[in-house]
Structures are given as structure tokens and as C-alpha cells.
């Protein structure tokens, strides 16, 4: 073998080795960039922190957001949702005005015409809204069917014929000025949100609110629970601290819990645990009684539940949050309050005003959006809500929003047509993107009636979390126990006032602390 051949072989070997090394380096670099996109989250307590990529993170005792898309499950899976079955005819205590409760819930439902939507992928990136106002119009087939438009309600919305599922509205090319419609918040200063004005904004940027720190809100708002504090905490501690408990005292304890709306199952479970614990451990002081009661109540609140709100983007798409509930429970207010928290967390939020019955509802949401720097997609009055929700999600995807929150119209759970319409809103949205979170907003002051509502909503749209509002106005904070027990769905957020920052993540320990 001559020298030239040997040199040739050596060169070939070196080139081969170099190629292998290069290949390994390239594959490593690709792996890093792939897993790098969603790992940095900005907690809402004002610090910047790297978190694991498992989806959820704990921002101190602040709000806890996670990714949906099936990646984040419940730490403690809920028991199966209780289906109402024949109980759907239960209408005791329901509002009577215009109520169609006399229509049996299990009677044949009016059909919903399926109209083919464009392929989910086919129009991604091309669909835009017609103009900067972000107002969407009902698809032609909906607009052309005035019989489906409900009468403007005096007390409650009249039951409309469900409109046909809309085809995605054909939208003309958007003008260049609407290229960046989702405000980019200043993530570095989460408590004083300064989103950059969208390029399209023709007027001066609206004055943005300062957002109260989100960490430890439940603790700070504990005074708001004073009414429940008296009804549960003080009464129970008084009874437990009275020394040896005879049967009559145990009955008083039971009554106290029932009156605070814990519901029979939770009341029995709490009493049982207290009896067992008192038989085996000595409770001599008020502190002992408090510690025991706290332990038992916290356990009953299932601390293992995953209460994170699935509002983080995943797979390159925004999270989709649907907010549902009966009239006046606080859906719009909650949507606005939560948008504030998300914006403070550095998220791009887009709000969909799918309440097309009341123009005031969309205006209300628009005001919230302007105050926090979140864009609002709204429809014409009486437009098909499913169409508006669909448009909002399309726009959220097109413009790189992190989360699209859809505020739906209040509807009585006893109204078959309105409940069908809500089911349709979810189905239509899901043709574009999965709905990650369905938050049922329940007014805590209505007590047991809230449970009846919750059962029907759970059946129609598979709720994933409950927001209990107006806990500041009731002595019946025990409804939290009942809702979870009955639905197997976690209470994720609580409303503790009308103020923009009076929304807190629900934390069993802090909640029980506030009660005792």
C-alpha cells in the first residue's frame, strides 16, 4: 500500500469522525431548543423564576396556572361527576319568571343542525378579523334567521331556538395595522402592568390599572369571610371547646355544619372524623380544639386536588378557558379579574364576549379588557355566541395569544334551549382548539340551588373547575365542601368582593384558617 492510499484512508477516517461529532452536537442542540419554549414562567408575586416543565407551578401562595392539553391531570382524580339523571326535573326554588321548568328535562331535545366547519388546520394563519374593532358578525345563516334571535329579556333571556353551528365566518384580509392586536404586557413589572399599545390603536392607550399582588390574597381577604367565620368557626369552636360532648352537643355540631351549607355527606364525614379523633386524642384547650377542627376540615376539602387553572399555552396554541353559569353569578366580573391576574403574570390574554344577548355584558367585558390591556373579540348583538367564541379562538391562535377566555351569557340551567346552545359553543370551539378549562361560576349566596345548577352544567359542558363568587356576602361558606363533594370537581377560585382584585385562588388551608 503506497503512502497516498494510507493518507487517503486517514483523511476519510478523520472526516467520518468529524461528521459523527457534528451530528451528535446538532441533535443535542435540537433537543434543548425543543424543550426550552414553555419552561420560563413568571410568577405573579413579582419575582422571576424557572420552573419545571411539568405544567404547573406554585407562585408562592398566589395563583397557580397550568397547561391543559391532557398533560396536567388532577393530583387526586375526581370522583365521577354525579349525573343528574331523572333529577333534572327538579326545579324547587328556581326562578319562576318565564321558566320552562314544566318542560321535562328528559324530553327530546331540539336538534342542532351540523354545518361543516373548515378543516381546523386549513385556515390557520390566514383567518383574520375584518377590521380593527375586533367586532365579529354572525355568519350569514345565523344573521339571516331572525326567528332564532331571542327577544331582549326583561328579567331573563327568552329561550332561543339554538342557532345552527356556524361555519367559520369568511373574513376579508385584515389591514396591516391590525397585525399586533394582542397587547404585549410588560412582564418585568407584573404588579404595574404596562402592555404595549397595539399598533392598530388609533387613539391614546387607555389608562391601565395597577394590579394588586396576587400572592396570599386569600389571607389578605380573610376578613371578607367574617360571616362564614361566625357561622362555622366560632360556633364549632364553641361547641367543641365546651368539654365532654353528649349526643345533644353532637346534634348541635351537625346542625351547625348543615346550616353552613356543607351538605349531608360532608357534614357526616366531618362529624365522624371529629368523633374518632376526640375518642383517641385529648382536646383540653381552645388551641387543641382549633387544631383538630382545622385538620379535619382541611382534609375534607381534599387538599390533593389540582386547583391550577389551565390557562397556559400548549403545543403552540393558546389555552382556551370557557366561563359558564346562570345569570348574574359573576361570570364577566370573574373573567375580568382573572384576565388581570394573567396579564400581571405576563400573559397575552384575549377575551371573547360570547354573551350576545346583552350588549351591556360585552361592554362590561370590553371595559375590563381595556383596563388590563387585553383585546376583546365581540359579536354583533344577537349574533350566534358559538360564532363569536370561534372567532375569538381563531384570532387568539393567529395572533399568538397565550390564553383565550370566553365569557358566555348567563343561562338558567332549567332552559333546555339555552343549555343546548352552551353545549354548541363548546363543540364549535373544539373544532378549532381544545377547551382546556371550563369554569363554572356559582354564586355562593344561593346555597343548595347552586348544586342543582352545577349538576346540569356539568352534564352539558363537563366543567373542570368551580369559581365560587360572593363568598363575602354569605354565612354559608360551607358550600365549598358541598360543591366539591357533590361534583368531584375542585373549587379553583373564590370571589370575595366586587373589587377588581377581589378574586383569590382557593387554598384549603388558608380558607379554613380564615374560617376559624
Query: Which x/- pattern over 310-329 shows residues binding ligand GTP (rule: CB under 6 A)?
Result: ---------------x-xxx
> Is residue 381 part of the contact set for ligand GTP (CB under 6 A)?
no
Size of the site for ligand GTP (CB under 6 A): 21
- Shortest Å distance, C-beta 331 to ligand GTP: 4
Alpha-carbon distance of 369 to 347, in angstroms, equals 13
State in angstroms the smallest separation of the CB of 448 from ligand GTP. 19
> How many beta carbons lie within 10 A of that of residue 312, not counting itself?
25
| Site membership for ligand GTP, residue 169 (CB under 6 A) | no
| Residue reference for cell 385556515 | 123
Of 201 and 500, which CB lies nearer to ligand GTP in the complex structure?
A: 500
Q: Where are the beta strands (DSSP E) in 138-238?
A: none
Among 159, 165, 306, 355, the residue binding ligand GTP under the rule CB under 6 A is 355
Q: Is 353 exposed, middle or buried (0-12, 13-18, 19+ CB in 10 A)?
A: buried
Return the axis-axis angle of helices 448-461 and 416-430, rounded to nearest 10°.
40
Per-residue H/E/C for 1-37: CCHHHHHHHHHHHHHHHHHHHHHHHHHHHHHHHHCCC
Question: Which of 165, 261, 375, 472 touches ligand GTP (CB under 6 A)?
Answer: 472
CB atoms within 10 A of CB 372: 26
- In the bound state with ligand GTP, the residue whose beta carbon lies nearer, of 325 and 373, is 325
Minimum distance between the CB of residue 472 and ligand GTP, rounded to whole angstroms? 5
Q: Which residues pair with 491 in a beta bridge?
A: 466
- In this chain, which of 64, 214, 332, 366 binds ligand GTP, going by CB under 6 A? 332
Of 260 and 361, the one with the shorter C-beta distance to ligand GTP is: 361
> Which class for 46: exposed (0-12), middle (13-18), buried (19 or more C-beta within 10 A)?
middle
Residue 197 Cβ vs ligand GTP, minimum distance, rounded to whole Å: 26
Which residues 233-252 are close enough to bind ligand GTP by CB under 6 A? none
**339 within 8 A of 368, measured Cβ to Cβ:** yes
Residue 434 vs 499, nearer CB to ligand GTP? 499
- Residue 98 CA to residue 242 CA, distance in Å, equals 51
The single residue listed with the C-alpha cell 375518642 is: 279
Helices (H), 117-263: 140-143, 217-220, 226-228, 235-240, 247-259
Residue 351: closest CA among 403, 411, 316, 308 = 403
**Contacts for 140 with CB less than 8 Å, ≥ 6 apart:** none
Q: If binding is defined by CB under 6 A, does position 159 make contact with ligand GTP? A: no
Residue 485 Cβ vs ligand GTP, minimum distance, rounded to whole Å: 22
Choice between 76 and 498, CB closer to ligand GTP: 498
Smallest separation (angstroms) from ligand GTP to the CB of 329: 4
- Name which of 435 and 493 has its Cβ closer to ligand GTP: 493
Q: Which residue is nearest to ligand GTP (CB)?
A: 410
Toward ligand GTP, which CB reaches closer, 257 or 451?
A: 451
- When the beta carbons of 296 and 471 are compared against ligand GTP, the nearer one is 471
- DSSP three-state, residue 377: strand
Residue among 409 and 489 whose Cβ is closer to ligand GTP: 409
**Nearest CA among 211, 218, 206, 186 for reference residue 501:** 211
State in angstroms the smallest separation of the CB of 405 from ligand GTP. 13
Q: Which is nearer to ligand GTP, 414 or 469 (CB)?
A: 469
Q: Please report, in range form, the residues annotated as the binding site.
A: 325-332, 407-411, 469-472
Question: Does residue 410 bind ligand GTP (CB under 6 A)?
Answer: yes
Burial label for 16, CB within 10 Å (0-12, 13-18, 19+), is exposed
Q: Read off the DSSP letter of residue 62.
A: S
The contact mask relative to ligand GTP for 390-409 (x = CB under 6 A, - = no) is: -------------------x
Question: 438: closest CA among 395, 415, 467?
Answer: 467
Binder of ligand GTP out of 314, 395, 424, 470 (CB under 6 A): 470
Q: How far is the CB of 323 from ligand GTP (least distance, A)?
A: 8
Residue 469 sits in the site that holds ligand GTP (CB under 6 A): yes
**How many Cβ atoms are within 10 Å of 116's Cβ, its own excluded?**
8
Give the range of 304-312, 416-424, 425-433, 489-497 binding ligand GTP by CB under 6 A. 489-497
**Shortest Å distance, C-beta 431 to ligand GTP:** 25
Binding site for ligand GTP (CB under 6 A): 325, 327-333, 355, 361, 409-410, 469-470, 472-473, 495-498, 502
Amino acid at each position: 500500500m503506497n503512502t497516498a492510499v494510507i493518507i487517503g484512508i486517514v483523511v476519510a477516517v478523520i472526516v467520518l469522525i468529524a461528521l459523527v461529532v457534528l451530528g451528535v452536537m446538532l441533535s443535542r442542540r435540537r433537543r434543548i431548543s425543543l424543550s426550552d419554549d414553555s419552561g420560563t414562567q413568571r410568577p405573579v408575586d413579582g419575582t422571576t423564576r424557572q420552573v419545571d416543565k411539568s405544567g404547573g407551578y406554585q407562585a408562592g401562595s398566589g395563583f397557580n396556572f397550568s397547561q391543559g392539553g391532557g398533560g396536567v391531570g388532577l393530583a387526586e382524580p375526581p370522583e365521577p361527576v354525579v349525573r343528574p339523571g331523572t333529577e333534572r326535573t327538579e326545579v324547587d326554588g328556581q326562578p319562576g319568571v318565564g321558566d320552562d321548568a314544566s318542560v321535562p328535562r328528559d324530553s327530546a331535545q331540539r336538534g342542532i343542525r351540523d354545518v361543516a366547519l373548515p378543516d381546523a388546520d386549513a385556515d390557520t394563519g390566514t383567518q383574520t378579523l375584518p377590521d380593527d374593532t375586533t367586532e365579529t358578525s354572525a355568519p350569514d345563516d345565523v344573521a339571516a334567521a331572525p326567528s332564532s334571535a331571542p327577544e331582549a329579556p326583561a328579567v331573563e333571556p327568552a329561550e332561543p331556538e339554538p342557532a345552527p353551528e356556524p361555519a367559520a365566518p369568511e373574513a376579508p384580509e385584515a389591514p396591516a395595522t391590525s397585525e399586533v392586536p394582542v397587547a404585549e404586557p410588560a412582564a418585568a413589572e407584573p404588579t404595574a402592568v404596562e402592555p404595549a399599545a397595539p399598533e392598530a390603536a388609533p387613539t391614546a392607550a387607555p389608562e391601565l390599572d395597577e394590579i394588586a399582588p396576587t400572592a396570599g390574597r386569600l389571607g389578605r381577604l380573610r376578613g371578607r369571610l367574617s360571616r362564614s367565620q361566625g357561622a362555622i368557626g366560632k360556633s364549632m369552636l364553641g361547641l367543641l371547646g365546651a368539654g365532654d360532648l353528649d349526643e345533644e352537643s353532637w346534634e348541635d355540631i351537625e346542625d351547625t355544619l348543615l346550616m353552613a351549607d356543607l351538605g349531608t355527606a360532608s357534614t357526616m364525614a366531618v362529624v365522624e372524623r371529629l368523633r374518632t379523633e376526640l375518642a383517641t386524642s385529648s382536646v383540653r384547650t381552645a388551641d387543641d380544639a382549633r387544631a383538630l377542627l382545622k385538620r379535619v376540615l382541611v382534609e375534607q376539602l381534599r387538599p390533593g386536588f389540582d386547583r391550577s387553572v389551565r390557562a397556559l399555552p400548549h403545543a403552540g396554541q393558546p389555552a382556551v378557558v370557557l366561563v359558564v353559569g346562570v345569570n348574574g353569578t359573576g361570570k364577566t366580573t370573574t373573567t375580568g379579574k382573572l384576565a388581570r391576574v394573567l396579564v400581571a403574570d405576563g400573559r397575552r390574554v384575549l377575551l371573547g364576549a360570547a354573551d350576545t344577548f346583552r350588549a351591556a355584558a360585552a361592554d362590561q367585558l370590553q371595559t375590563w379588557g381595556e383596563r388590563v390591556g387585553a383585546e376583546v373579540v365581540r359579536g354583533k348583538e344577537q349574533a350566534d355566541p358559538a360564532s363569536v367564541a370561534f372567532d375569538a379562538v381563531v384570532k387568539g391562535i393567529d395572533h399568538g395569544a397565550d390564553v383565550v377566555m370566553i365569557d358566555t351569557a348567563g343561562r338558567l340551567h332549567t332552559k333546555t334551549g339555552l343549555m343546548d346552545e352552551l353545549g354548541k359553543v363548546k363543540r364549535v370551539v373544539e373544532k378549532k382548539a381544545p377547551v382546556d378549562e371550563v369554569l363554572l361560576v356559582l354564586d355562593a349566596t344561593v346555597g343548595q340551588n347552586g348544586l342543582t345548577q352545577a349538576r346540569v352544567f356539568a352534564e352539558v359542558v363537563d366543567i373542570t373547575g368551580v369559581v365560587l363568587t360572593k363568598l363575602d356576602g354569605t354565612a354559608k361558606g360551607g358550600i365549598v365542601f358541598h360543591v366539591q363533594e357533590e361534583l368531584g370537581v375542585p373549587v379553583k377560585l373564590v370571589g370575595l368582593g366586587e373589587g377588581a382584585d377581589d378574586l383569590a385562588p382557593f387554598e384549603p388551608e388558608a380558607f379554613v384558617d380564615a374560617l376559624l
